[in-house]
Amino acid sequence: MVIANHSIFKIYHKLYQAFGPQRWWPGDTPFEIAVGAILTQNTNWGNVEKAINNLKKQNTLSAKAIHEMPGKKLSELIRPAGYYNIKAKRLKSFIDFLMNDYHGRMKRMKNEDMHSLRKKLLSINGIGPETADSIILYALEKPIFVIDAYTKRVLSRHGIMEHEKSYDEFQELFHSSLKKDMKLFNEYHALFVRVGKTFCKLKKPLCDKCPLNDL
Protein backbone atom coordinates (compact mmCIF):
# COMPACT_ATOMS: atom_id res chain seq x y z
CA MET A 1 0.00 0.00 0.00
CA VAL A 2 1.25 3.41 -0.95
CA ILE A 3 0.41 5.86 1.76
CA ALA A 4 1.59 9.08 0.23
CA ASN A 5 -0.01 12.33 1.30
CA HIS A 6 0.94 13.65 -2.09
CA SER A 7 -1.51 11.33 -3.82
CA ILE A 8 -4.40 12.73 -1.79
CA PHE A 9 -3.78 16.09 -3.43
CA LYS A 10 -3.36 14.51 -6.85
CA ILE A 11 -6.57 12.52 -6.63
CA TYR A 12 -8.55 15.67 -5.91
CA HIS A 13 -7.32 17.38 -9.04
CA LYS A 14 -7.98 14.35 -11.21
CA LEU A 15 -11.52 14.05 -9.93
CA TYR A 16 -12.15 17.76 -10.29
CA GLN A 17 -10.87 17.68 -13.86
CA ALA A 18 -13.11 14.73 -14.65
CA PHE A 19 -16.31 15.90 -12.99
CA GLY A 20 -16.02 19.59 -12.20
CA PRO A 21 -17.58 21.27 -9.15
CA GLN A 22 -20.37 19.28 -7.47
CA ARG A 23 -22.10 22.07 -5.51
CA TRP A 24 -23.05 19.97 -2.49
CA TRP A 25 -24.93 19.19 -0.22
CA PRO A 26 -28.40 18.87 -1.80
CA GLY A 27 -30.65 20.76 0.61
CA ASP A 28 -31.91 24.31 1.00
CA THR A 29 -31.17 25.03 4.66
CA PRO A 30 -28.72 23.87 7.34
CA PHE A 31 -31.59 22.13 9.11
CA GLU A 32 -32.64 20.27 5.98
CA ILE A 33 -29.05 19.20 5.43
CA ALA A 34 -28.82 17.81 8.96
CA VAL A 35 -32.07 15.90 8.52
CA GLY A 36 -30.81 14.52 5.21
CA ALA A 37 -27.55 13.44 6.85
CA ILE A 38 -29.45 11.27 9.32
CA LEU A 39 -31.94 9.91 6.81
CA THR A 40 -29.30 8.90 4.29
CA GLN A 41 -27.57 6.45 6.63
CA ASN A 42 -26.96 3.35 4.52
CA THR A 43 -29.70 4.55 2.19
CA ASN A 44 -30.07 5.69 -1.40
CA TRP A 45 -30.37 9.46 -1.69
CA GLY A 46 -33.44 9.22 -3.93
CA ASN A 47 -35.36 7.63 -1.08
CA VAL A 48 -34.21 10.35 1.28
CA GLU A 49 -35.59 13.01 -1.06
CA LYS A 50 -38.99 11.37 -1.00
CA ALA A 51 -38.98 11.42 2.79
CA ILE A 52 -37.92 15.07 2.93
CA ASN A 53 -40.56 15.99 0.37
CA ASN A 54 -43.19 14.34 2.57
CA LEU A 55 -42.11 16.58 5.41
CA LYS A 56 -42.14 19.63 3.16
CA LYS A 57 -45.60 18.87 1.82
CA GLN A 58 -46.92 18.86 5.39
CA ASN A 59 -45.01 22.04 6.15
CA THR A 60 -43.20 20.19 8.93
CA LEU A 61 -39.55 20.43 7.90
CA SER A 62 -38.57 22.44 10.97
CA ALA A 63 -37.14 21.68 14.38
CA LYS A 64 -40.27 22.87 16.14
CA ALA A 65 -42.68 20.90 13.95
CA ILE A 66 -40.77 17.65 14.19
CA HIS A 67 -40.16 18.17 17.90
CA GLU A 68 -43.90 18.42 18.51
CA MET A 69 -44.84 15.64 16.09
CA PRO A 70 -45.77 12.21 17.45
CA GLY A 71 -43.06 9.65 16.71
CA LYS A 72 -45.55 7.48 14.93
CA LYS A 73 -46.49 10.22 12.46
CA LEU A 74 -42.85 11.08 11.89
CA SER A 75 -41.92 7.51 11.07
CA GLU A 76 -44.83 7.31 8.64
CA LEU A 77 -43.71 10.47 6.80
CA ILE A 78 -40.10 9.32 6.47
CA ARG A 79 -41.05 5.78 5.52
CA PRO A 80 -39.51 5.91 2.00
CA ALA A 81 -36.07 6.47 3.55
CA GLY A 82 -36.09 2.98 5.07
CA TYR A 83 -35.29 2.02 8.71
CA TYR A 84 -38.06 4.49 9.39
CA ASN A 85 -38.74 3.55 13.02
CA ILE A 86 -35.15 3.85 14.14
CA LYS A 87 -34.56 6.95 12.01
CA ALA A 88 -37.58 8.66 13.52
CA LYS A 89 -36.00 8.14 16.94
CA ARG A 90 -32.65 9.38 15.69
CA LEU A 91 -34.19 12.52 14.23
CA LYS A 92 -35.99 13.14 17.49
CA SER A 93 -32.77 12.66 19.45
CA PHE A 94 -30.92 15.15 17.28
CA ILE A 95 -33.73 17.68 17.46
CA ASP A 96 -34.04 17.31 21.23
CA PHE A 97 -30.38 18.26 21.42
CA LEU A 98 -30.90 21.14 19.00
CA MET A 99 -33.85 22.47 20.99
CA ASN A 100 -32.28 22.06 24.42
CA ASP A 101 -28.81 23.40 23.72
CA TYR A 102 -29.34 25.82 20.82
CA HIS A 103 -32.97 26.97 21.04
CA GLY A 104 -33.70 24.89 17.93
CA ARG A 105 -31.39 27.02 15.79
CA MET A 106 -28.64 25.65 13.60
CA LYS A 107 -27.11 29.12 13.58
CA ARG A 108 -26.46 28.86 17.29
CA MET A 109 -25.02 25.40 16.93
CA LYS A 110 -22.64 26.87 14.40
CA ASN A 111 -21.21 29.20 17.06
CA GLU A 112 -19.91 26.26 19.06
CA ASP A 113 -16.30 25.15 18.83
CA MET A 114 -16.03 22.44 16.18
CA HIS A 115 -14.30 19.79 18.26
CA SER A 116 -16.49 20.07 21.33
CA LEU A 117 -19.55 20.06 19.09
CA ARG A 118 -18.35 16.88 17.39
CA LYS A 119 -18.07 15.15 20.76
CA LYS A 120 -21.58 16.23 21.68
CA LEU A 121 -22.99 15.05 18.36
CA LEU A 122 -21.29 11.67 18.76
CA SER A 123 -22.89 11.25 22.17
CA ILE A 124 -26.36 11.46 20.59
CA ASN A 125 -27.90 8.07 19.95
CA GLY A 126 -28.02 7.50 16.20
CA ILE A 127 -25.26 9.91 15.24
CA GLY A 128 -21.94 8.32 14.39
CA PRO A 129 -18.79 9.84 12.88
CA GLU A 130 -20.01 10.18 9.30
CA THR A 131 -23.31 11.78 10.23
CA ALA A 132 -21.66 14.12 12.73
CA ASP A 133 -19.03 15.19 10.23
CA SER A 134 -21.60 15.65 7.46
CA ILE A 135 -23.58 17.98 9.69
CA ILE A 136 -20.45 19.91 10.69
CA LEU A 137 -19.13 20.26 7.15
CA TYR A 138 -22.24 20.64 5.04
CA ALA A 139 -24.78 22.19 7.40
CA LEU A 140 -22.44 24.30 9.53
CA GLU A 141 -19.72 24.91 6.92
CA LYS A 142 -16.78 24.06 9.15
CA PRO A 143 -13.67 22.30 7.82
CA ILE A 144 -13.85 18.61 8.74
CA PHE A 145 -13.42 15.79 6.22
CA VAL A 146 -16.29 13.32 5.77
CA ILE A 147 -15.44 9.66 5.21
CA ASP A 148 -18.05 7.39 3.71
CA ALA A 149 -18.34 4.01 2.00
CA TYR A 150 -17.40 5.52 -1.37
CA THR A 151 -14.31 7.20 0.02
CA LYS A 152 -13.09 3.94 1.52
CA ARG A 153 -13.89 1.92 -1.58
CA VAL A 154 -12.20 4.30 -4.00
CA LEU A 155 -9.08 4.74 -1.90
CA SER A 156 -8.69 1.03 -1.20
CA ARG A 157 -9.23 0.02 -4.83
CA HIS A 158 -6.54 2.40 -5.90
CA GLY A 159 -4.10 1.20 -3.28
CA ILE A 160 -4.00 4.30 -1.11
CA MET A 161 -5.24 2.77 2.16
CA GLU A 162 -6.65 -0.61 3.22
CA HIS A 163 -10.41 -0.79 3.39
CA GLU A 164 -10.24 -2.24 6.91
CA LYS A 165 -8.63 0.88 8.39
CA SER A 166 -10.77 2.85 10.78
CA TYR A 167 -12.83 5.94 10.10
CA ASP A 168 -10.40 8.05 12.09
CA GLU A 169 -7.40 6.74 10.18
CA PHE A 170 -9.00 7.57 6.84
CA GLN A 171 -9.96 10.99 8.09
CA GLU A 172 -6.50 11.68 9.45
CA LEU A 173 -5.05 10.97 6.03
CA PHE A 174 -7.01 13.89 4.61
CA HIS A 175 -6.51 16.19 7.57
CA SER A 176 -2.77 15.71 7.44
CA SER A 177 -2.55 16.09 3.67
CA LEU A 178 -4.74 19.11 2.96
CA LYS A 179 -5.21 22.66 4.07
CA LYS A 180 -8.20 22.86 6.43
CA ASP A 181 -10.45 24.47 3.88
CA MET A 182 -14.20 23.96 4.12
CA LYS A 183 -14.80 24.50 0.41
CA LEU A 184 -12.08 22.03 -0.52
CA PHE A 185 -13.39 19.37 1.90
CA ASN A 186 -16.89 19.95 0.62
CA GLU A 187 -15.98 19.46 -3.05
CA TYR A 188 -13.59 16.62 -2.41
CA HIS A 189 -16.04 14.43 -0.51
CA ALA A 190 -18.74 15.12 -3.08
CA LEU A 191 -16.33 14.07 -5.82
CA PHE A 192 -15.73 10.74 -4.06
CA VAL A 193 -19.46 10.08 -4.07
CA ARG A 194 -19.61 11.03 -7.74
CA VAL A 195 -16.79 8.78 -8.86
CA GLY A 196 -18.05 6.00 -6.61
CA LYS A 197 -21.51 6.10 -8.13
CA THR A 198 -20.23 6.46 -11.66
CA PHE A 199 -17.27 4.09 -11.93
CA CYS A 200 -16.27 2.49 -8.66
CA LYS A 201 -19.30 0.29 -8.11
CA LEU A 202 -19.34 -2.55 -5.64
CA LYS A 203 -20.21 -5.25 -8.13
CA LYS A 204 -17.83 -4.14 -10.87
CA PRO A 205 -14.23 -4.12 -9.64
CA LEU A 206 -12.72 -3.25 -13.04
CA CYS A 207 -13.27 0.51 -13.21
CA ASP A 208 -12.41 0.78 -16.91
CA LYS A 209 -12.92 4.49 -17.41
CA CYS A 210 -12.12 5.60 -13.88
CA PRO A 211 -10.18 8.89 -13.99
CA LEU A 212 -7.97 7.54 -11.21
CA ASN A 213 -6.60 4.62 -13.20
CA ASP A 214 -3.28 6.36 -13.89
CA LEU A 215 -2.19 7.71 -10.56
Partner DNA sequence: TGCCAGGCCGGGT
Partner DNA sequence: ACCCGGCATGGC
Binding track, positions 97-136, relative to DNA; x by CB under 7 A: ---------------------------xxxxxxxxx-x--
Q: How far apart are CA 47 and CA 35, in angstroms?
A: 13
Q: Between the CA atoms of 189, 191, 194 and 195, what dihedral angle is there, to the nearest 10 degrees?
A: -110
Residues 69, 76: Cα–Cα separation, whole Å: 11
- Separation between Cα atoms, residue 145 and residue 171, nearest integer Å: 6
Residue 30 is a binding residue for DNA (CB under 7 A): no
Nearest distance from C-beta of residue 56 to DNA, angstroms: 16
Sole binder of DNA in the list 8, 14, 15, 36 (CB under 7 A):
36
Please report whether residue 32 would count as binding DNA according to CB under 7 A. Answer: no
Restricting to residues 56-75, which ones interact with DNA according to CB under 7 A?
A: none
Query: Residue 25 has what DSSP assignment?
Result: P
One-letter amino acid identity for 126? G
Of the listed pieces 6-14, 22-30, 61-69, 174-182, which binds DNA according to CB under 7 A?
22-30
Q: Which among 188, 195, 213 has a CA at the least distance from the CA of 13?
A: 188
Number of residues binding to DNA, judged by CB under 7 A:
44
Applying CB under 7 A, among 67, 79, 110, 175 the residue interacting with DNA is: 79
